[in-house]
Amino acid sequence: GTIAEKADARTGKSVPAVSGEELVKAVPGLAKVANIGVLNFMNIDSSQMTPGIWLKLSKKVNEIIKRPDIAGVVVTHGTDTMAEGAYFLELTVHSDKPVVFTGAMKDASDPCPDGPANILNAVIQASSKEALGWGVTVTLNNYVNGARDVRKTQTTNVQTFESGEKGYLGYVYDGKVRRFNDRIRKIKFPLPSKLPPVVFFSTYAGDRGDFIRYAVDKGAKGLVIDALGAGNVNAETCDAILYALSKNIPVVISTRVYYGSVVPAYGDHGGGGMLEKKGAILAGDLMGTKARLLLMLALAEVGNNPEKLKSYFE
Ligand code: ASP
């Protein structure tokens, strides 16, 4: 991501350019905080990230974090898909040691890049006892966010990651981690060898449900729909969801609203209560793009078992 990008001399636009060693070298005082080993896992813009790559990343992090000489792991990652990547690792890394995702909103050729300070704080957190038990976090601009609830909220500002009404887990400043909050972490999966295709859509006023039908006909093994409000869709989208359910495709209903849960409040055609009765799974307050990752891992673990799948979302 941007943390490891520089302006291309010809186009002036950011492109992947910086190695892990160079990132570490660019941070004054880092060597005093910890002994750092660098692994150049890959350097791509995170818009090109896939669950398959996160699977490989998770495998690597699981291997590394087991070592007794390792206090924690920092993953530098593009901010565009960081919230999803962190959640994927949250679900699949089996350790209480800190795994800290960080990145930057301004690239390495910016006159005032945010990457070096973010790396410094991430390393402070990764080697701090105060951070034990938080699991995977997204730590940028001093704030520590839990992987499950974090989202990117601003396209260009260094203060972009927030945890909404749940609040930050903590704050890293002046070489120390301050702990505000804990989060209960329950779900863990073994790493599967591959992930089933699960498709995510956001609905809207006037949605005709065509894309849902298309995904079903093209072999999707699960669907996640960002619904309106507390989990409602219009009648045509509802028909398309019923079509998916009739083909035995699990459908998870999340919400496109920023805060709050999907609840079975409405019983009319397309209401959350009706969808749940027909077999759709309500995602609670887990955002749709992350519900997709959870459904993929759950399908890989327990197969298409409605009751077991549902239990992961409760
Ligand atoms: N283009 C970037 C990415 O890879 C954005 C960023 O890292 O801030 O996600």
Going from the Cα of 297 to the center of ligand 1, the distance in angstroms, rounded, reads 25
pLDDT of residue 280: 98
Q: In the annotation, is 203 catalytic? A: no
**Atom of ligand 1 at shortest distance to CA of 49?**
4
Q: Which residues have a Cβ under 8 Å from the Cβ of 207 and sit 6 or more positions away?
A: 233, 234, 236, 237
Q: For the chain, what percent of residues have pLDDT higher than 90?
A: 93
pLDDT of residue 32: 94
Tell me the backbone φ, ψ of residue 208, rounded to 5 degrees: -105, 0
Does the CB atom of residue 222 touch ligand 1 within 6 A? no
Going from the Cα of 185 to the center of ligand 1, the distance in angstroms, rounded, reads 27
User: Counting Cβ atoms within 10 Å, is residue 35 exposed (0-12), middle (13-18) or buried (19+)?
Assistant: exposed
Q: Rounded to whole angstroms, how far apart are CA atoms 137 and 19?
A: 22
Q: Rounded to whole angstroms, how far apart are CA atoms 242 and 252?
A: 12
**Atom of ligand 1 at shortest distance to CA of 103?**
7
List 139's β-bridge partners, or say none. 144
pLDDT level of residue 49 (50, 70, 90 thresholds): very high
**Atom of ligand 1 at shortest distance to CA of 14?**
1
User: Mind listing the pLDDT tens digit for each residue in 112-170?
Assistant: 999 999 999 999 999 999 999 999 999 999 999 999 999 999 999 999 999 999 999 99
pLDDT of residue 107: 92
Q: Which residues have a Cβ under 8 Å from the Cβ of 197 and sit 6 or more positions away?
A: 219, 220, 221, 222
Does the CB atom of residue 1 touch ligand 1 within 6 A? yes
Going from the Cα of 294 to the center of ligand 1, the distance in angstroms, rounded, reads 23
As a residue count, the chain comes to: 314
pLDDT level of residue 217 (50, 70, 90 thresholds): very high
pLDDT level of residue 108 (50, 70, 90 thresholds): confident
> pTM for this one?
0.96
Q: Kindly tell me if the per-residue pLDDT of 304 is higher than 90.
A: yes
Q: Kindly tell me if the per-residue pLDDT of 183 is higher than 90.
A: no
Tokens of 42: 């890959």
pLDDT of residue 199: 98
Does the CB atom of residue 45 touch ligand 1 within 6 A? yes
Residue corresponding to tokens 């035995």? 248
pLDDT level of residue 228 (50, 70, 90 thresholds): very high
pLDDT of residue 185: 75
Q: Rounded to whole angstroms, how far apart are CA atoms 179 and 304?
A: 39
- Angstrom distances, CA of residue 295 to CA of 91, 106, 176, 277, 289: 11, 33, 36, 19, 10
**Atom of ligand 1 at shortest distance to CA of 44?**
4
DSSP characters over 263-294: -----STT-HHHHHHTTPEE-TT--HHHHHHH
Q: Which residues have a Cβ under 8 Å from the Cβ of 48 and sit 6 or more positions away?
A: none
Does the CB atom of residue 80 touch ligand 1 within 6 A? yes
* Strand 136-140 versus strand 143-146 pairing type: antiparallel
Q: For the chain, what percent of residues have pLDDT higher than 70?
A: 100
Does the CB atom of residue 2 touch ligand 1 within 6 A? yes
Mean pLDDT of the chain: 96
Active-site residue, selected from the candidate residues 2, 76, 137, 255:
2
Does the CB atom of residue 76 touch ligand 1 within 6 A? no
pLDDT of residue 267: 87
